[in-house]
Amino acid sequence: MSEKDALLGLRDKIDALDLQIMESISQRANFAQQVAHVKKSLGDTAYYRPEREAQVLRSVMESNTGPLDNEDMARLFRQIMSACLALEQPIKVAFLGPEGTFTQEAALKHFGDGAIAVPMSAIDEVFREVLAGACHYGVVPVENSTEGVISHTLDSFMDSSIKICGEVELRIHHHFMMGENTKKENITRVYSHAQSLAQCRQWLNSNYPNIERVAVSSNADAAKRVQGEWNSAAIAGDMSCELYKLEKLWEKIEDRPDNSTRFLIIGRDDIPPSGDDRTSLVVSVRNKPGALHDLLEPFRRYNVDMTRLESRPSRSSKWSYVFFIDCVGHIEDEAVKSVLAELASDVADLKILGSYPRAVL
């Protein structure tokens, strides 16, 4: 057999396999519709189940034998599940806009392209939209591996009944870009979000030390601004570059190559255990010697892994603080239950923000 014949034979096999894949996806979609009908008859309106989706994606990654890597395979299944879910009920997701932000990218990574993404102009608007029921879920940034916590997001939880329903991590790549009306030698100003300017500080100091750095509400807003200006550039991501048709002058200019941002999925419901979960809470301690030690001690004693501890000024009194805590486990786990029971008896106030599946992708 010639190499040409071998190539044609392989293509025939791929075509036949594509038909099988399509038939299997269609069958899965039919089952998804049947699930929707059964849920409707039972009065269950929760079509999207974060814990179930996390379990499916983990199973896919554990069963994958290659040659596609685990994340690529999981992303394929994410899109299939997103499209099937849209047949049951399209998920409406609020995100920190405008269009083209990293938060939108995180929303699509978590929910897939079958979700309806709705841009909001501020983090507190995302909270309000979800609380009012106008959107099923919201996506907000909470911390960056380089610049730390997003304080506005933490503060929004203080007076809200919103629950954390999930999380997603996104590798952040910043690009230095300009519009079609700009010449490289004319650039005197760069727009970006304050966090992005900080994440690219060393690169800017080395390459554009004298240009004005202007912080704006989002990277997408920065990209939009430079469209009509002749002397400015923007630092933003791929989505903004494509959406606003900008030219990349420099790619991946972030100071740390592992630069990542963690986003929270917020909603109105408690999430059942998925088998690999995280719990977030906010604690107000009494002002006494050893208060922080007493706060941390139950986690050590019951062997519960605390993954984050952040302090924020309390709104109730001057020079008092509340602590935001993330720990591994679900509130239904016995060890976590024991920790929460001890904290509740010792601290001034304890609020559970949610137990939710740890990021799969």
Q: At what angle do helices 151-158 and 123-131 cross, to 10 degrees?
A: 30
Same domain, 203 and 165: no
C-alpha 264/C-alpha 55 separation (Å) is 18
Contact criterion met (CB below 8 Å) for 227 and 246: yes
* 111: in domain: yes
Maximum mean pLDDT: which of 88-102, 117-131, 314-328: 117-131
* 202: in domain: yes
Q: Which amino acid is at 241?
A: C
What pLDDT, on the 0 to 100 scale, is given for residue 90? 86
Same domain, 325 and 339: yes
What pLDDT, on the 0 to 100 scale, is given for residue 228? 82
* 28: in domain: no
* 5: in domain: no
C-alpha 295/C-alpha 170 separation (Å) is 31
* 213: in domain: yes
Contact criterion met (CB below 8 Å) for 120 and 245: no
* 19: in domain: no
Domain CATH for 301: 3.30.70.260
Of the three residues 188, 215, 250, the one that is the final residue of a domain is 250
Same domain, 244 and 202: yes
The whole domain housing 102 covers: 90-172+260-267
Same domain, 185 and 167: no
What pLDDT, on the 0 to 100 scale, is given for residue 315? 74
Contact criterion met (CB below 8 Å) for 222 and 235: yes
What pLDDT, on the 0 to 100 scale, is given for residue 97? 86
Mean pLDDT of 50-72: 95
The model's pLDDT over 289-348, given as tens digits with 9 standing for 90+, comes to 888 899 999 999 999 999 999 988 887 777 678 999 999 999 999 999 999 999 998 888
Entry pTM: 0.89
Q: Which amino acid is at 146?
A: T
Total number of domains constituting the chain:
3
Same domain, 190 and 159: no
Same domain, 241 and 300: no
> Residues 310, 361, 144, 115: is their CA dihedral positive or negative?
negative
